[in-house]
Amino acid sequence: MGFTSVTIIGLGLIGGSMGLALGRKRPEVKRIGVDFPPALEVALELNIVDEAIAVDRFVDEWKQTDLIVLAVPITGILDWLATLSRVVGPGQVITDVGSTKREIVQKAQELLPYPERFVGGHPMAGSERRGGRASDPFLFENVTYVLTPTELTAEPAYTTVAEFAATLGARVLPMRPDEHDRLAAVVSHLPQLLAIALVNFAAQKHQQDDRTLRLAAGGFRDMTRIASSPYEVWDDILRTNRDEIGRVLLDFTACLRELQERLLSGDLREAFESAARHRLSIPKDTKGFLRPLYDILVAVEDRPGVIARISTVLAEAGLNIKDIEVLKVREGEGGSIRLALESERDRQLALDLLRAAGVRCRARD
């Protein structure tokens, strides 16, 4: 079926990045953006879309396109399905980017006049930044893009959405809506709740001993990075996948009890070795909800200006330090710091520049 025109409803990080990626990969495709006026101004300024329609003018001004992408939060997706049911024609394909799938797919089948033209989708991509100005044409490169066709889905509709995802640079992975929500509960929703629980637990202990969080350095920060995700992003996700997340939490509680028993018996070697083996099997060339950071460990001398010198070397090459952390300091001797870069390319360039400047450094896996 293919597509020559796309309507993107919602021009935040995801929708905006889709518009930029399409403009880069398929400049001949007409891009229509739908959002509120401030977001539309940004989208036109950054060439995210070719045409803009305000939300309150959509029904009156929209001209049918080959593909409609609902790039809004889950509640918004459900509301837009009701709106589209009044205007969509038999030739349009509709997809979404919601982080849970069962409720959205079910509602699409109930509301849309041509439910066979709907294909649920979830690109496993994101960033700590939000809004159209955070849009990135490379956001979906090598990202796993889940599609959730059902027995009602027309093959040409699925092919169109799969082509769209591939155009963005993503890797398509089809599965049933219920399978998606069950697996997402394990690898996405549970880690979010665990990060929140761990930070809050440490904060409670900090009230008893205010040295606690001062010791929470590298490993703790890496493990809890996603704890800063805003609740507004997660409210709909947790609500629409509450049953699966609840089951996973129960299973994980049993896992913690088993670890406790192994700790008491001194029998944790197999747990450590098993975790190490399985972690190595996680694909390294796919991105998740938050972009990975690429770390460098730098040995520094204990003297004024050493950190400024390092940052100047990188800044002059246009490299942006995404995070910096002092790992250890020995007074009079020096210590080490962690620098985090945005990509493997940036990390390798930083290593080359720092070594050429006589700075001892190495990549950290």
> Are 168 and 208 found together in one domain?
no
pLDDT-derived band of residue 154, with 50, 70 and 90 as boundaries? very high
Q: How far apart are CA 88 and CA 95, in angstroms?
A: 13
Q: Which of 157, 175, 193 is the last residue of a domain?
A: 175
Range with lowest mean pLDDT among 237-241, 256-260, 309-313: 309-313
Q: Does an H or E element contain 92, and which?
A: none
> Of the ranges 47-56, 195-204, 238-247, 301-310, which one carries the lowest mean pLDDT score?
301-310
Is residue 254 domain-resident?
yes
**Are 327 and 232 in the same domain?**
no
User: One-letter amino acid identity for 81?
Assistant: L
Residues 247 and 321 in one domain: no
Q: Which of 175, 202, 222 is the last residue of a domain?
A: 175
The Cα-based distances of 329 to 2, 67, 288, 325, 332 in angstroms read 58, 56, 33, 11, 9
- The pLDDT tens digits of the residues spanning 158-207 come to 999 999 999 999 999 999 999 999 999 999 999 999 999 999 999 999 99
- The crossing angle, in degrees rounded to 10, of helices 190-208 and 242-265 is 60
- DSSP assigned state of 186: I
Average pLDDT value for residue range 264-284: 86
- For residue 320, the model assigns a pLDDT of 86
Domain with residue 271: its CATH number is 1.10.3660.10
Confidence label for 126 from pLDDT (cuts 50, 70 and 90): confident
What's 96's domain CATH number? 3.40.50.720
Same domain (yes/no): 96, 227: no
Residues 262 and 148 in one domain: no
For residue 257, is it within any domain? yes
| Residue 102 near residue 245 (C-beta atoms within 8 A) | no
159 with 218, same domain: the answer is no
Structure tokens at 62: 């929209």
Shared domain for 59 and 170, answered yes or no, is: yes
pLDDT at residue 233, rounded to an integer: 84
Q: 275-297, pLDDT tens digit by residue?
A: 988 888 776 555 554 456 788 98
pLDDT tens profile 66-110: 999 999 999 999 999 999 999 999 989 999 999 999 999 999 999
Rounded Cα gap, residues 6 and 9, in angstroms = 10
**pLDDT of the residue at 208:** 93
User: Does residue 254 share a domain with residue 225?
Assistant: yes
Are 76 and 147 in the same domain? yes
Question: What's the domain range around 198?
Answer: 180-275
Same domain? For 87 and 167 the reply is yes
Distance CA 36, CA 106 (A): 27
Residues 16 and 131 in one domain: yes
Q: Is residue 285 part of a domain?
A: no
pLDDT score recorded for residue 314: 92
- From CA 52, how far away is CA 353, in angstroms rounded? 44
Q: Are residues 168 and 184 in the same domain?
A: no
Give mean pLDDT, residues 11-19: 96
pLDDT, tens digit (0-9, with 9 covering 90-100), for 292-316: 678 898 888 777 888 888 989 999 9
140 lies in some domain: yes
Distance CA 140, CA 169 (A): 6
Asked which of 293-302, 310-319, 338-347, 349-358 is least confident by mean pLDDT, the reply is 293-302
User: Which of 124, 122, 132, 119 is CA-nearest to residue 47?
Assistant: 132
Q: What CATH number does the domain containing 318 carry?
A: 3.30.70.260
Question: What sections of the chain are H helices per DSSP?
Answer: 13-25, 37-45, 58-61, 74-84, 102-111, 155-167, 177-184, 190-208, 218-223, 231-240, 242-265, 269-280, 306-316, 344-356
Q: How many domains does the chain have?
A: 3
